[in-house]
Amino acid sequence: MSTLFLDLNSFFASVEQQLVPSLRGKPLGIIPNDCGSTCCIAASYEAKHFGVKTGCGVREAHERCPGIVLIASRPDEYIKMHHKILEAVDTIYPAEGVYSIDEMSFRLTGQDRDINRARDLAMQMKQAIRELAGETLRCSIGIAPNRVLAKTASNMMKPDGLVVIERNELPKRLLGLELTDFPGIGTGIENRLHRYGIRSVDQLCRASRPMLRKAWGSVLGETWWHWLRGDETDIPKTKKRSCGHQHVLAPDLRYKEQARAVAIRLLHKAAARMRWEGYWCTRITLDLKPPDAPSWHLDVKLEPCQDTVRLLWHLGQLWSKQPFEFIFCVSVTLGGLISNGNVEEPLFELDRKRTRLAHTMDTINRKQGHASIYYGSMHGVTDSAPRRIPFSSVPDLDLPDIA
């Protein structure tokens, strides 16, 4: 055994049940905002019992589970609990990687690779989380020869499960799964596999390395061949390509001008995060979804930019071309990211001054709090599009919602 993977169960809902004891044992749904047209971004196991899942609309949630309690998300509380859990498991074993707010892995070494020792560590982690973070916080743990199989194992028994996959059990132990039960195989990859005649896990495991390379369209297919056999091949690192935010608008913000102000707010958030992470963008994209028409999007390429003023000008140009009076959802994305070390300082002094101004505003907002200073064009919507927790990273509490 080389890897232990820990997946916190129904994390957002479990945190709310920990913080609000009266919610324990009740079907609970977490929604991004108090809006009748929104959907659940998380559900407790009591709600899942009635078929309420992530993405389930509010109306459908009430139909499936009439007694469900719906509450607005509190991202800061979930981030605090995440760090509390990290501290708890660190008393047992140091985490090798943290992949999202509810997932982390541990690289086992030496005698800890013994199957019985690994099981014991898993049980100690569960106990540490209950004692040091909260009794409602449960996790499923998978132990396997590599991280992909360990993550797969963690999903095989929920909630509060512990599943071990040993190398000598492969591939037999996997044959009861669906292709999409493996992390990283979504419907798009599944369709590609189908085109190559791979419709079951058995066929996936029996496919040759060249076949999997063709099916994936890259060397990643060969990496999967190794993973399925228990090899510890490293997961290829991906390059960050974009930084953006989207927001489903409350009814009073769906008019054209109010939606424009929210788009500006989203741009401020994305630009501040981009600068914090050390990137410059070379493209800005505006996506809009009206209530009763297909989605619309438009983008523009630009020279490497961190300057919010210039980005606002480009956003204004894009917005002037959008045809809608009423808008349901707005998304702003900064793409074509280039890291600080690969960008030369702007040629003109005005551009350099405005870039320094953007960084100064970020510093003030980090120290003084959310939207302590902002451009007038987003006045009135500074509380719109509150902080969300992305799937692939965890915001640092030291980085508040700075835009």
Distance CA 227, CA 215 (A): 16
Tokens of residue 103, six digits: 């997932």
Beta strands 3-8 and 139-144, pairing class: antiparallel
For the segment 56-106, what is each residue's pLDDT rounded down to a tens digit? Answer: 989 999 999 999 999 999 988 999 999 999 999 999 999 998 888 999 999
User: What's the mean pLDDT in 32-47?
Assistant: 83
Lowest mean pLDDT among 129-133, 201-205, 339-343: 339-343
Are residues 389 and 78 in contact, defined by beta-carbon separation less than 8 angstroms? Answer: yes
Per-residue pLDDT, 54 = 87
> Which amino acid is present at 49?
H
Angle at 82 between CA 78 and CA 84, to 5 degrees: 115
Distance CA 15, CA 26 (A): 13
335 pLDDT more than 60: yes
145 pLDDT more than 90: yes
Q: What is the DSSP letter of 42?
A: E
Strands (E), 279-328: 279-289, 296-305
Distance CA 122, CA 115 (A): 11
% of the chain residues with pLDDT over 70? 88
From residue 399, give the alpha-carbon distance in Å to each of 73, 269, 395: 18, 12, 7
Per-residue pLDDT, 26 = 95
Tell me the CATH number of domain 11-75, given options 3.30.390.30, 3.40.1170.60, 1.10.10.60, 3.40.50.1980.
Answer: 3.40.1170.60
Are residues 129 and 81 in contact, defined by beta-carbon separation less than 8 angstroms? Answer: no
Per-residue pLDDT, 78 = 93
Residue 313 φ then ψ, to 5°: -60, -45
For the segment 348-380, what is each residue's pLDDT rounded down to a tens digit? Answer: 677 778 788 777 877 877 776 656 666 666 555
Mean pLDDT of all residues in the chain? Answer: 88
Q: At what angle do helices 187-195 and 209-216 cross, to 10 degrees?
A: 130
For the segment 287-308, what is each residue's pLDDT rounded down to a tens digit? Answer: 999 988 899 999 999 999 998 8
Where in the chain is CATH 3.40.1170.60? 11-75
How large is the C-alpha radius of gyration of the chain?
23
pTM: 0.71
Q: How far apart are the first and last CA of the chain?
A: 45
- Residue 396's nearest CA partner among 86, 108, 137 is 86
**Record: fold of 242-378:** Dna Ligase; domain 1 (3.30.1490)
Per-residue pLDDT, 402 = 46
**Record: fold of 3-7+78-228:** Alpha-Beta Plaits (3.30.70)
pLDDT bracket for residue 264 (50, 70, 90): very high
391 pLDDT more than 60: no
Q: How much of the chain is in helix, strand and coil states, percent to nearest 5?
A: 45, 20, 40
For the segment 209-257, what is each residue's pLDDT rounded down to a tens digit? Answer: 999 999 999 899 999 999 999 998 876 666 678 888 888 888 888 999 9
Per-residue pLDDT, 126 = 97
Are residues 154 and 165 in contact, defined by beta-carbon separation less than 8 angstroms? Answer: no
